[in-house]
Structures are given as structure tokens and as C-alpha cells.
């Protein structure tokens, strides 16, 4: 049972709000990932103040607003760079699509990106990646480019190069900065640099040394063209788990406003245990906020809040979690194919597929009831809604943990194939 929710139920029964307010922020910071959580500093201050004042309606409405803002957040990402540098491949990778998937951005060895094209994320339609025309064309003018592509709409810019960054890239970065937006330099195709270097110098080849050389070369080059302290992320679009992609993910998350972080975290690929844990942090935070909101509501007189969390809602919840972690039916089929294993065998190894055996676990209801009774007995009244709130909390947490375990299990299996 989450310590703060228990303390909340007890504190609210005894009107001990000062103590709750004191514990709120330290507890919140233990829940979120190092990339931050979904509450903005203003919301955190607002909830803290409402707790201090014992104003539970305000606690409830601020949490509700923050959850809605996160669920409805729109994210538009601009991907810019010269032709052939890997813009479309990068977009496809972030959309979780292979190059040959039907809706994938065109990937080719001729100049295929001629005008700005939006690509919606297949699972998160409010997330749009913009494939922007090559900066290497003779028509490019840094002064007018941003206006032409409508810069104000983008949350951040990814400037891509597969060799050194050009003067145009640097000029553009300066303009993006002047417009008060964030940009990140991404150097693609480091896999082929390493491959070429290893072939050319098989005896003296050192992977880390080559990566450092690429980094130094890009940094020096950008500094020469006037960019101060450029941040460069080396990646391979063919293997996002390698090189600097995890660092890029974390940096982007950290620098997004709180309400946009949640959705972006959910769409990131499951490339490592760390990325699965990162996603888990965001979902755990949401489960916790919803439980806290419901717990607050159970102390507000005449407030009926409960929308119901019966089997259909529970089934949907499990389905959503499976989808966030790439364990939806279609993804499992694709994984089985990649592993060259019978689908039934792979399914047999996963616990998250058997909804009914998970919900048969009645210990959750017993835990919720006894936790709520222990803390709510003082005043009477709110027990039944507090029990409901805790039931939801326990059930969601159970689903999340099972799905995360399964996602890690499949990742392990995929790693053995990739190594082989």
C-alpha cells in the first residue's frame, strides 16, 4: 500500500492536514522518474497549498485538471535535416514502425522528402512528427525557413545529420533558439561509421574511441559555425537501444512541460529495462494521482464520484497497459515471428494475457478493504468510497506490475536473438 495514500486516509479522518501537506512533495519526488513527472511546479505548489488548507475539493480539482491536461496533450515534433540523413527513418522508429510498414514515412536513397509532411503516431494520434524539407537545397534561407514551416506549432526541433552538421544547420539552430524553442542535434548512422572503421582498421579499432571522434568532430564543427555548447546525440535508427538514444529520450522528457511528458514517455520504444521502468514510473504516478483524487473525494460531503471499475473497465485498463508496453495482440505476433517461435508458446509465457485469472486474485479486494477500514473507521462515512478507490489502486498496480514483468521477459528473449 502506498504510504502517502494510507497517511492521507488517516490524516483526512483526523483533520491533520498540516502533516499531509508536509509529506506531499517529498513523497511525490520518490514516485517520479529522474526525467520528472507529469505535474508542473505550479500544480505541485497548488496541491500543497490546498492540502495545507484542508481544501479537498481543490486537491481533487487540481489533480483532475492535471490528469486531463496530460491525457489531452498535443505534441508536435519537427525533424529537420538534409536529404538522405535519416529523418524518415528516425520518425518511423519513434512511431514504432518498420520501414516497410504501410503508414511509414517514405525511406529511400533518393531525395524523397520534398515538402513538409505530418506523420501521426499510430497509437497516440495527438502526437505528430513533421518530416521537414531538406535544408541542403539551394532554396534554403535560414531567415525565412522557420516562418515557412510554421515554427510556433512545434514543441521541439530535431536537427539531423549523418555526417557533419552544415552551416545551414547551425544557422537554423540559432533561429530556433531566438524563437524561444528547443533543438537537439542528432547524428545518425553511427552504426555504419563503426562498421566502416572496423573494416578499415581491424587491428586498432576501438568502438568508444571512434564514437568520441565523431562526437568531437561534430561539436568542433558546430562551435566553429557559432553554436555555443552544442548537445549532440549519436544514434542508429536501426537500433535505438544503442549509443545516445536513451540519453536523448531522457533529455527530451526532462525539457518538455510536465503535462506533455506523460504521452511522450508512453510512446517511447521498449529498448531496455531502463526504458520500461521509465514508462512504469509515469503510469504509477497516474495510478497514484487517481487514487489520491478518489481518496480526497471520499471525504467531501455529498460528493458521489465513482464512475465504476467493474470487469469491462478493468479489462480495458489491462489492455491499455499491454498496448503501452508493446504487448498488444499484433505486437506479440510480430515478436513471435522475429523470434521464430510458435505464437502459442510465446503467449504461454506471458501472464498478462489471462485477464480472468488475474482478477480472480481476491486478495486485492481484501487488502483494499482492510486498509480502508483501518484508516477510515474514525469518522465512519467514507469507507465504501475509500474502499473503491483503494480497490482500483491495487488492481491497476497489479496489472501494471504483471505487464512490466512480461515486457522485460520478452525484451530478454529479443536480446538473445539480436546477439545471435
Instruction: Say whether residue 140 binds ligand GTP (CB under 6 A).
Output: no
Task: Please state, as a whole number, how many other Cβ atoms lie within 10 Å of the Cβ of residue 206.
Answer: 12
Q: Which CB, 114 or 223, lies closer to Mg ion?
A: 114
Instruction: Say whether residue 189 binds ligand GTP (CB under 6 A).
Output: yes
- Residue 112 beta carbon to ligand GTP: minimum distance, rounded to whole angstroms: 4
The residue within the footprint of Mg ion, chosen from 33, 92, 104, 113 (CB under 5 A), is 113
Instruction: Say whether residue 37 binds ligand GTP (CB under 6 A).
Output: no
Instruction: Say whether residue 107 binds ligand GTP (CB under 6 A).
Output: yes
- Residue 163 beta carbon to ligand GTP: minimum distance, rounded to whole angstroms: 12
Cα 362–chain centre separation:
32
List the single partner that 89 binds among ligand GTP, Mg ion, none, CB under 5 to 8 Å by kind.
ligand GTP
List the single partner that 238 binds among Mg ion, ligand GTP, none, CB under 5 to 8 Å by kind.
ligand GTP
Instruction: Say whether residue 83 binds ligand GTP (CB under 6 A).
Output: yes
Instruction: Say whether residue 52 binds Mg ion (CB under 5 A).
Output: no
Instruction: Say whether residue 237 binds ligand GTP (CB under 6 A).
Output: yes
The residue within the footprint of ligand GTP, chosen from 36, 37, 86, 326 (CB under 6 A), is 86
Environment class of residue 318 by beta-carbon count within 10 Å: exposed (0-12), middle (13-18) or buried (19+)? Answer: buried
What does the alpha-carbon distance between residue 363 and residue 361 come to, in Å, rounded to a whole number? 6
Environment class of residue 236 by beta-carbon count within 10 Å: exposed (0-12), middle (13-18) or buried (19+)? Answer: buried
69: nearest Cα among 263, 291, 323, 256: 263
What does the alpha-carbon distance between residue 126 and residue 65 come to, in Å, rounded to a whole number? 18
Instruction: Say whether residue 314 binds Mg ion (CB under 5 A).
Output: no
234: nearest Cα among 196, 274, 189: 189
Within residues 65-104, the interface with Mg ion by CB under 5 A covers: 87-88
Number of residues that bind ligand GTP (CB under 6 A): 22
Q: Which CB, 112 or 174, lies closer to Mg ion?
A: 112
Q: Residues in the site for ligand GTP, rule: CB under 6 A?
A: 81, 83-89, 107-109, 111-113, 134, 188-189, 191-192, 236-238
Amino acid at each position: 500500500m502506498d504510504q502517502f495514500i494510507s497517511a492521507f486516509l488517516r490524516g483526512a479522518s483526523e483533520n491533520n492536514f498540516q502533516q499531509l501537506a508536509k509529506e506531499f512533495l517529498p513523497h511525490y519526488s520518490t514516485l517520479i522518474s529522474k526525467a520528472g513527472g507529469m505535474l508542473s511546479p505550479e500544480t505541485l505548489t497548488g496541491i500543497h497549498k490546498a492540502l495545507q488548507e484542508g481544501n479537498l475539493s481543490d486537491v481533487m480539482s487540481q489533480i483532475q485538471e492535471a490528469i486531463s491536461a496530460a491525457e489531452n496533450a498535443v505534441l508536435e515534433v519537427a525533424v529537420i535535416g538534409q536529404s538522405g540523413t535519416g529523418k524518415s527513418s528516425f520518425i518511423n522508429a519513434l512511431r514504432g514502425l518498420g520501414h516497410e510498414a504501410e503508414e511509414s514515412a517514405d525511406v529511400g536513397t533518393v531525395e524523397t522528402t520534398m515538402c513538409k509532411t505530418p506523420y501521426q503516431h499510430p497509437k497516440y494520434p495527438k502526437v505528430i512528427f513533421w518530416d521537414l524539407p531538406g535544408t541542403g537545397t539551394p532554396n534554403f534561407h535560414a531567415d525565412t525557413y522557420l516562418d515557412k514551416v510554421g515554427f510556433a506549432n512545434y514543441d521541439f526541433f530535431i536537427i539531423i545529420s549523418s555526417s557533419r552538421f552544415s552551416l545551414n544547420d547551425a544557422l537554423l539552430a540559432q533561429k530556433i533558439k531566438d524563437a524561444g524553442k528547443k533543438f537537439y542535434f542528432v547524428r545518425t548512422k553511427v552504426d555504419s561509421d563503426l562498421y566502416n572503421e572496423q573494416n578499415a582498421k581491424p587491428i586498432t579499432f576501438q568502438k568508444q574511441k571512434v564514437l568520441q571522434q565523431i562526437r568531437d568532430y561534430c561539436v568542433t564543427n558546430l562551435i566553429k559555425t557559432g553554436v555555443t555548447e552544442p548537445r549532440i546525440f549519436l544514434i542508429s535508427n536501426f537500433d535505438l537501444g544503442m549509443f545516445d538514444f536513451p540519453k536523448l529520450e531522457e533529455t527530451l522528457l526532462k525539457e518538455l512541460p510536465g503535462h506533455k511528458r506523460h504521452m511522450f514517455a508512453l510512446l517511447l520504444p521498449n529498448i531496455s529495462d531502463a526504458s520500461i521502468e521509465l514508462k512504469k514510473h509515469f503510469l504509477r504516478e497516474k495510478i497514484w494521482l487517481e487514487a489520491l483524487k478518489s481518496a480526497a473525494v471520499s471525504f467531501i460531503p455529498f460528493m458521489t464520484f465513482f464512475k465504476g471499475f467493474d470487469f469491462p473497465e478493468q479489462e480495458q485498463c489491462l489492455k491499455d497497459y499491454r498496448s503501452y508496453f508493446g504487448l498488444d495482440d499484433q505486437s506479440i505476433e510480430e515478436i513471435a515471428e522475429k523470434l521464430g517461435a510458435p505464437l502459442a508458446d510465446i503467449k504461454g509465457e506471458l501472464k498478462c494475457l489471462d485477464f480472468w485469472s488475474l482478477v480472480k486474485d481476491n486478495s486485492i479486494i481484501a487488502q483494499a478493504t482492510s486498509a480502508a477500514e483501518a484508516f477510515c473507521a474514525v469518522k465512519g462515512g467514507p469507507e465504501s468510497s475509500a474502499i473503491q478507490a483503494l480497490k482500483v489502486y491495487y488492481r491497476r498496480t497489479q496489472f501494471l506490475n504483471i505487464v512490466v514483468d512480461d515486457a522485460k521477459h520478452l525484451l530478454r528473449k529479443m536480446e538473445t536473438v539480436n546477439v545471435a
